[in-house]
Amino acid sequence: MEDSETAAPYTLLGFLIRGGDGDYCGFMMDYAERVKNALLWVGLFSITFLLLQKLARLVRLWGQGSRIPGPPSPSFFGHSKLIADRAVGQNMIGYLSKMHEKYGPIVRLWMGPTQMLISVKDIAMIEEMLVKAEDKLPLIGRAFRLAFGRSTLFVSSFDKARRTRESLAVCMNNNLLERLNQLPGKVVEHVLERFVSIIAKDVPDSRQVSEHMASYILGASMFGDAFLNWSNASLYEELLVTVAKEACFWDSYRIPPFWSRRYRTYHFLCTRLKELNKDIIDESMKSRNVARKEDGTAVFIDAMMFGGSLFHGKTKKHHFSEEEQCDNILGLIFHGFLTTASLINSILTRLALHPELQENIYWEIISLKKTSKFDLSDVQKMNFLLATMYESARLLPPGPLLQRCSLNHDLKLKSGITVPAGAIIVVPLPLVHMDYSIWGKDADQFYPQHFITMTCSHKDGMLDEHEASKEITRELQIDGSFLSFGSGARSCVGQKFVILALSALFASLLDSYENTYRLDLRKKTSAWKAVCFPSLHTRDPRRTTRTSPTDNTQSYKDVAKEYFAWDYKQKQPAAEPIPEELRTLFDDQEEREHQSK
């Protein structure tokens, strides 16, 4: 038998076998020390390389930002504190307006040492930017995910959302539009029932009525008649509104305050909302077979759930769980509910503020309605009503800023300016939508003729009985002037559905009812609040002649809107340019108060 020394190979193991105990211990200690040093050097080089990469990107960002016109950074935190500071009398839009006047159509603002905000006001630049910038910044934090889950429909990267957005657009603009022939009448009936039940307890304002209408139109579209007959529909709506408002507050916290009682209540409401969402989905799925045979109610919910056409082919590696699909539905309702309710609120108020417009739309409805029920083709011909929808959306967009970004690539504009990857690109919608050079001298006024070509013979909006309205001017959307629904690759996929659905809803409502409001002036701190309370009066079906609009003084004292507020110290509106009629009312009220003192 061979000796162990001669049998041992010439390797580390063999060396250890041949060596003694002292050599073994010394070698292992030396070997471990060398390995540790090697790992430390590798770690040091790796960290240094990563830091140098970040430093190079930071220097590159500073260099590119310095070539874009804009004010210098006032502090380490940039302009973020200045914009958020309400004491200086500046809001975001007001500050951007001054910067655009000083530096031109594109302005750079530093939001910190590593974050840049680019504001674009020029129409040509906006159109080019919206085509090239396809991504959105991941601004939704943990509080939103707790409430509405991780939705795959609204991810930041456009490449990940492209297929789903295309399927969603087809589903909304085809399957859901088919249901509009029967939907408005049912929604109006349920809204009126809800309206009567609320009046018995309290006097609802326009915001409450708008939220009810938005809830029923979206719920009936998503879940079919099951939502209209659902006993928890009102609770679902209340929870959705409450959770949405609370989510905006708690999302500002980097670390959720789990010790807060209010946060624990918010957590409970989120859990309850998800339970109700699952409940209505189950109710809709149970009745889908019968509903599909009658009017196709369950087509959309089938496309959303259980691997339907909306997610078909999105990815072969990932199968969406039932929880993920429920989160997608809840996220879709959340994104549509608040914006739809705000638009309905604006439309209701505009119609009441302009009785001649309401009379105009009523006679357009009468002239185009073929049967007792509306058809989608009839609604598409009601151009004056459609123009009212667009004009209301123009003056009150879903948000003041249209935000885009390019996560991975720099944007090279035709003007020679290069926008670095990751920079926040915003379009200040109030500045674009109220630009006198684009919309004319009445850009800040409600004027549906902005979207109609040669419709009215008089600026007051009155039409002759046999005068046909013309088509809506689509060029306004093509050149980027109308941006309430966005534009380019990430434009709102539900724009067509929302406009036609609300038009059909208001056509059904105005066909039988006249919309008026009661005005209540309330003073809170230094501002007068004009809160409007809706009132629907049944129209006389035997009336065959047009009535002249009532006197403005008598009409406007019954109308207003909660978001109108006139600050007597600043002499500026709190939300949007206040109508001249309401301003007169406020000034009269101020004069009476001064005389009484």
- Extended strands (E) in 235-369: none
Q: Answer yes or no: do 21 and 154 share one domain.
A: no
Q: Are residues 57 and 196 in the same domain?
A: no
Residues across the chain: 597
Q: Report which of 454, 485, 494 is spatially closest to residue 471, judged by C-alpha positions.
A: 454
Q: Assess if residue 149 is contained within a domain.
A: yes
Given a contact cutoff of 8 angstroms between Cβ atoms, the answer to whether 123 and 481 are in contact is: yes
Q: Are residues 420 and 520 in the same domain?
A: yes
How many Å apart are CA 419 and CA 108, to the nearest integer? 10
Is residue 156 in some structural domain? yes
386 with 293, same domain: the answer is yes
320 found inside a domain: yes
| Whether residue 171 is found in the same domain as residue 57 | no
Strand 411-412 to 418-419 pairing:
antiparallel
147 and 53, same structural domain?
no
| Nearest-angstrom CA–CA distance, 502 and 191 | 14
Examine residue 123 and state whether it is found in any structural domain, yes or no.
no
Instruction: Report the CATH number that the domain containing residue 178 is assigned in CATH.
Output: 1.10.630.10
Query: Phi, psi (5° rounding) for residue 80?
Result: -65, -45
Question: 171 a known binding residue?
Answer: no
CA-to-CA separations, 326 to 145, 147, 172, 329, in angstroms, rounded? 13, 12, 18, 5
533 has which bridge partners? 518
Q: Are residues 60 and 146 in the same domain?
A: no
Same domain, 424 and 540: yes
Structural domain including 325 reads: 142-596
Could you say which of 14, 35, 66 is where a domain stops? 66
Does 81 fall in a domain? no
In a domain, 202, yes or no: yes
Domain endpoint, select from 36, 66, 96: 66
For 415: left if phi > 0, alpha if psi spans -120 to 50, otherwise beta; the answer is alpha
- Helix and strand totals (H; E) in the chain: 26, 10
Per-residue pLDDT of the chain (597 residues; tens, 9 = 90+): 455 445 555 555 555 555 555 566 777 788 788 888 999 999 999 999 999 999 998 898 888 888 999 988 887 777 766 665 543 434 788 888 889 999 999 999 988 888 889 999 988 889 888 888 888 876 556 666 777 777 666 676 777 777 777 777 777 777 677 666 666 667 777 776 766 665 555 556 677 778 888 888 888 888 877 888 888 888 898 888 888 888 877 777 777 788 888 888 988 988 898 888 888 888 887 776 555 545 444 445 555 554 455 554 444 444 566 777 777 788 888 888 888 888 888 888 888 778 888 888 888 888 887 666 667 778 888 888 888 898 988 888 888 888 888 888 888 888 888 898 888 899 999 899 888 888 888 888 888 888 876 434 444 444 444 444 444 443 334 446 888 888 888 888 888 888 888 888 888 888 877 766 665 544 444 444 445 555 666 665 545 555 554 443 333 333 333 334 333 333 344 444 455 545 555 555 555 445 544
Residue 29 counted as domain residue: yes
Give the whole-angstrom CA distance, residue 540 versus residue 126: 48
- Give Dmax over CA atoms of the chain in angstroms: 123
Same domain, 430 and 535: yes
The number of folded domains in the chain is 2
In whole angstroms, give the CA distance from residue 168 to residue 162. 10
Q: Is residue 533 part of a domain?
A: yes
Residue where one domain finishes, among candidates 43, 66, 89: 66
Tell me: do 262 and 402 sit in the same domain: yes
53/199 same-domain check: no
Q: Cβ(350)–Cβ(169) under 8 Å?
A: no
- Identify whether residues 37 and 174 lie together within a single domain: no
Token pair 């417009």: residue:
357
**DSSP secondary structure, 386-453, as one string:** HHHHHHHHHHS-S-SEEEEB-SSS-EE-TTS-EEPTT-EEEEEHHHHHT-HHHH-TTTTS--GGGGBS
* Closest C-alpha to 343, from 306, 298, 413, 391: 391
